[in-house]
Amino acid sequence: MPDDAFTFRPVTDADLPFVLACQTSDAAAPWFAPLTLDQARARFGDRLAGRSPIRMVIAHVRGRDAGYAQLYRVGDLPTDGFIPADARDVGLDYCLAGDLVGQGLGTPFVASLVGLASWLFPDAPGAVACPDHRNRASIAVLERAGFTAGLWFDTPGPAGGSITEIAYRRAIPAAEY
Ligand SMILES: CC(C)(COP(=O)(O)OP(=O)(O)OC[C@H]1O[C@@H](n2cnc3c(N)ncnc32)[C@H](O)[C@@H]1OP(=O)(O)O)[C@@H](O)C(=O)NCCC(=O)NCCS
């Protein structure tokens, strides 16, 4: 297996401190509201227990936990999580561990997530990710992973108020069995 091949496993409660560490790295802090462990349990508990349509996974590469991601059908999101994409598309959120940011891992991470999305949701026509329009690192990896920019839209921001995100989409070819 090449060095930068990502694998994934479901997030458990024991992973939440790692998830929070990912969210508070210098690269991630502008895009996430800081959470305590108790707040994270309240926010993510249903996802970890399989009671939410949002699936959380730990990403593994180079022999270590490397980040986490979320995958969900766009149409399964609550209306306050609106994303301008096909309801059957798979939404992706992703975050590398801070010490791995800036090493070129972002593109294989996102490309591997598209593969996971097509495995979890075989009839999904596309994958979509919605970076803040100022998130140049995320936009660069999405473009390198074959995504193209669609609508710009306003959504509630991590620090209150609203932020402007861009819906980046990539078609997922129909699976051949
Ligand atoms: C988004 C993320 C996965 C990308 O991974 P990464 O390790 O930074 O990606 P790479 O090293 O492969 O490449 C990032 C590119 O963006 C550029 N970049 C990084 N930070 C930048 C910044 N602040 N401003 C401008 N460009 C930046 C890099 O130079 C690189 O481009 P290049 O190869 O042409 O030089 C990672 O930054 C991350 O986890 N960020 C925090 C969480 C997050 O933003 N998630 C996305 C939510 S949509």
Residues 33-69 as b or e (16 or more Cβ within 10 Å = b):
eebeeeebeeebeebbeeebebbbbbbebeeebbbbb
Domain harbouring 125, CATH code: 3.40.630.30
137 Cα nearest atom in ligand 1: 16
Classify burial at 101, counting beta carbons within 10 Å of its beta carbon; exposed 0-12, middle 13-18, buried 19 or more.
middle
Helix (H) or strand (E) holding 151: strand 148-156
Confidence category of residue 177, pLDDT binned at 50, 70, 90: low
In this structure, which residue's CA is closest to atom 3 in ligand 1? 106
109 C-alpha to ligand 1 centroid (Å): 11
Structural domain containing residue 111: 7-171
Place of tokens 């458990």: 12
| Residue 29 resides in a domain | yes
pLDDT of residue 142 exceeding 90, the answer is: yes
Query: Averaged over 117-142, what is the pLDDT?
Result: 97
| Residue 2 resides in a domain | no
Residues 17-47 pLDDT 10s: 999 999 999 999 999 999 999 999 999 999 9
| Residue 69 resides in a domain | yes
Confidence category of residue 160, pLDDT binned at 50, 70, 90: confident
| Residue 45 resides in a domain | yes
Number of domains in the chain: 1
144 C-alpha to ligand 1 centroid (Å): 11
